[in-house]
Amino acid sequence: MTLLAIILALALEQIHPLGNRNRVLLVFTRYANYLERHLNAGRNRHGVLAWCLAVLPLAGLVWLIHGVLYKVTPVLALIWDVAVLYLTMGFRHFSSALTEISLALAENRVVDARLALARWSGQPTSELEINEISRLTIEQGVIDSYRHVFGTMFWFAVLPGPAGAVMYRMSNMLYQKWGGREEILGEAFGRFARRFHEAIDWLPVRLTSASFAVMGDFEDAVFCWRSQAIAWGHYAYGILLASAAGILLASAAGAIGVKLGDPLRQDYTVKYRPELGVGDEADPDYLRRAVGLVWRSVVLWLAVILLLTLVQWLSLS
C-alpha cells in the first residue's frame, strides 16, 4: 500500500498541483509562530517543548486516523495516506518553477527568468547572467527535490502510516524557522530543531545522493561527493543543513556533468562559493537534465520500495 499511495499522490499532484496554495502548511506556520511567541524564553528546553507540541500531536493524529480507517477498510486508509502525501510532498513545487525558468531562458527572456528565480529561491537575482541563473536554478531544484520528494518519501515508507511524512515536513519547516537561526546566530531555542532535523536527514540525504550517482554519471558523482561536498561548508541554503546541501549538490553536479557552486554576482558584490561538479558550465540545457535526473531517481526509489514489498509478502507467505 505504501508504493501505491506514493504513485497516486505523485499522479494527483501532476494533475492538480498545490504550489504555494497549501493552506494546511500555512496554518502550521501560524501555529509554529504562536508557539514561538509564547514559549521562546531563550532556553533549549523551551525549544524542545515547542517542537514536541508542534510535531508530535499532528503526527500522532494522522497515524491514529490511518489506523482507524484501516480497521474499517484498507481502501479508506489508502485514500487518507494519499491525501496526506499530497499535502506534504511537492514534486511540482520545484519542477514547475524550473520549467518556467527554462522556458524563459530558451525564449531569451532573461529578466523573466531572473524574476521567476527570485520568487522561487528568495535570493537576489537582478545581476545574474544566464549561466549564473542556470547554476542557481539547478541548485535550488536539487535541494527542493530532496526536501519535497525524497526526504518525505523516505520517512513515509519507514514510519507507520503517513506519520513519517508529516513528521519530516513539519520538522523541515521548524528547522527553517528556528534551527537556521540557531545555526547562524546561536539561538538556543532552535537548537533541538536543528539537531533533530540533522539526524533524520543523515540517511535519506545519502540515499538520495547515491540515487543520483546510480541514475547519472556514477564515477563523477562519487568523486564530487567525496572530494567537494565538504568544501561547501557554510554556503548552505536556509532550508537545509550545510553538510546535507553539499552532499546533494556535489553528487547531482557530478551525475549530470555540470559545474555548480562558483561565485555569484549578488547585492552589488561577488559572493564566493566553492566549485562543485566537473564538466561544462551550466546553461539552460542542463535544467532539463536536472529534472530528468530527479525523475529517474524517483523511479529508482519506487522500484526499490516495490522489491522490498515483494520480499515482505514472500516472507509472510
CA–CA distances in Å: residue 6 to residues 45, 156, 243, 294, 303: 36, 9, 28, 15, 12
Residue labelled with grid coordinates 511524512: 165
What average pLDDT values come out for the chain (317 residues) when binned by 10 residues? Answer: 89 78 83 91 90 95 95 94 91 80 89 91 86 92 91 92 93 87 69 92 95 95 92 62 84 94 83 86 89 94 90 76
**pLDDT value at position 95?**
78
CA distances from 116 to 96, 111, 165, 167 (A): 11, 9, 28, 30
pLDDT of residue 199: 93
pLDDT at 16: 80
Q: Could you give phi then psi for residue 19, rounded to 5 degrees?
A: 60, -130
pLDDT at 17: 75
Residues in the chain: 317
User: Cell numbers 520528494 correspond to what residue?
Assistant: 149
CA distance 34 to 40: 10
Q: What is the pLDDT of residue 234?
A: 57
Q: Are 246 and 233 in contact (CB under 8 A)?
A: yes
pLDDT of residue 278: 87
**Do residues 209 and 225 lie in contact, with contact meaning Cβ atoms separated by under 8 Å?**
yes
Distance CA 58, CA 171 (A): 12
pLDDT at 236: 52
- How high is the pLDDT of residue 59? 95
CB distance 187 to 199 below 8 Å: no
Q: Residue 224 pairs with which residues in a beta bridge? A: none
Task: From residue 62, give the alpha-carbon distance in Å to each of 30, 151, 164, 188.
Answer: 19, 18, 10, 30
Q: Which 3 state secondary structure label does DSSP give 267?
A: coil
Distance CA 234, CA 182 (A): 13
Residues 274, 253: contact at Cβ < 8 Å?
no
In angstroms, the CA 10 to CA 276 distance is: 30
Determine the pLDDT at residue 164. Answer: 94
> What was the pLDDT predicted at 184?
55
Contacts of 209 by beta carbon, 8 Å cutoff, 6+ apart? 221, 225, 247, 248, 250, 251, 252
Query: Residue written as cell 516495490?
Result: 306
Which pLDDT belongs to residue 271?
83
